């Protein structure tokens, strides 16, 4: 699993913005729920600041490129 620092570096280099940690957490939660890979041992709850719609594509691409968004 990629670290937040790796994801931030990827997004900054390829998309020109720095994502917030809460956006990364939300994007991971969305991808895992789509793939049916919800980890019941970790309660991340509802993010206080969900990922901005316009930034999700970049975060999904970064997670996929770094091995998190299967």
pLDDT along the chain (70 residues), means of 10: 92 96 87 63 62 87 82
pLDDT at 67: 84
pLDDT of residue 29: 83
Structure tokens at 56: 């999700």
Confidence at residue 35, expressed as pLDDT on a 0 to 100 scale: 63
> Could you tell me the pTM of the whole model?
0.76
Q: Tell me how far apart the 2 most distant CA atoms of the chain are, in Å.
A: 34
Three-class SS of the chain = CCCHHHHHHHHHHHHCCCCCHHHHHHHHHHHHHHCCCCCCCCCCCCCCCCCCHHHHHHHHHHHHHCCCCC
CA distance 59 to 46: 18
């Amino acid at each position: 699993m990629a670290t937040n620092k790796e994801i931030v570096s990827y997004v900054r280099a390829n998309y020109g913005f720095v994502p917030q940690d809460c956006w990364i957490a939300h994007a991971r939660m969305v991808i895992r729920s789509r793939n049916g890979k919800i980890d019941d041992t970790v309660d991340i709850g509802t993010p206080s600041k969900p990922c901005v719609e316009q930034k999700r594509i970049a975060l999904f691409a970064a997670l996929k490129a770094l091995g998190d968004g299967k």
